[in-house]
Structure 1
Amino acid sequence: MVTWDDVVALATALPEVEVTTSYGTPALKVAGKLMGRLRNDSDGSLALKTSEKEALVASDDPAYFTTPHYDGYAYVLVNLDLVDPAQLPELLDDAWHLAAPAKSRKQRNA
């Protein structure tokens, strides 16, 4: 089982990531841009920016889902109780890449 602390430990190893809040819930931002946040319900899920939303939801992996609220947005819901911990670094890296400013991405790839 993955915890919010696990998510924070991995995410804050990425450049410019800070732990803050969004909509009154714990969140991760890179250079002030949201990359993910805990949802304020009791299902233990994380709303995470992704370039692979359709593929993750279509994979039939119960760790990934969405709701009508997130239609049209590049966020997938990740059930932290079900997600494979080995996939988390890749998911967070993708979220970072999507949220980070171009200058930060360029510096990281240099």
Structure 2
Amino acid sequence: MSDDLSSAFAKLKAAAEGLPEIEEGTSYGTPALKVRKKFLCRVRDPDTVVVMCPLEEKEVLMEAAPQFYFETDHYKGWPSMLVRVHAVPLEELALRLRRAWLMQAPKRLVKGSSA
């Protein structure tokens, strides 16, 4: 992993701390986090990460906090959004990853978890 992506990935890993069965991997050639092989988030570039997000929440979040959340045409209509990783507070990013985890983790894992 190039150094320019490592600080963004370190923040993702810190935000995901405590979520059950988080695996490190890659997605589109960049560092990613998954739960049982299902995508949660990835580093897009040194300043941006992609995080899974229910469509109904995505619009609200982008409107409420455009300094943190946005999308490009590529992501329109998809349940994921772009996050300015160095601007968003760690606690907020952790909340977004918890929501992504609840969305992607198998139901049995969610049921047996306190996440």
TM-score tier by shorter-chain length is 0.7 to 0.9
1:100 maps to 2:108: no
Q: Measure, in 2, the Cα distance between the counterparts of 1:82 and 1:3.
A: 11
Contact 2:22–2:34 under 8 Å retained in 1: yes
Residues 41-89 of structure 1: CA deviation (Å, up to 9, x unaligned)? 34x1110011221111111431110011111111110001211222122
Q: Which residue of 1 aligns with 2:3?
A: none
Contact 1:47–1:76 under 8 Å retained in 2: yes
TM-score by length of 2: 0.83
Structure 2 gap segments, 5+ residues each? 1-6
Number of equivalences: 106
Q: Which residue of 1 aligns with 2:12?
A: 7
Q: Which residue of 1 aligns with 2:38?
A: 33
Q: Measure, in 2, the Cα distance between the counterparts of 1:32 and 1:18.
A: 7
Q: Which residue of 1 aligns with 2:92?
A: 87
For the residue of structure 2 that corresponds to 1:26, the secondary structure is strand
TM-score by length of 1: 0.87
CA-based RMSD: 1.6
Q: Measure, in 2, the Cα distance between the counterparts of 1:15 and 1:93.
A: 10
Q: Measure, in 1, the Cα distance between the counterparts of 2:28 and 2:108.
A: 27
Contact 1:66–1:76 under 8 Å retained in 2: yes
Amino acid in structure 1 at the alignment position of 2:91: A
Structure 1 residue ranges, 4+ long, deviating more than 4 angstroms after superposition: none
Q: Which residue of 2 aligns with 1:50?
A: 53
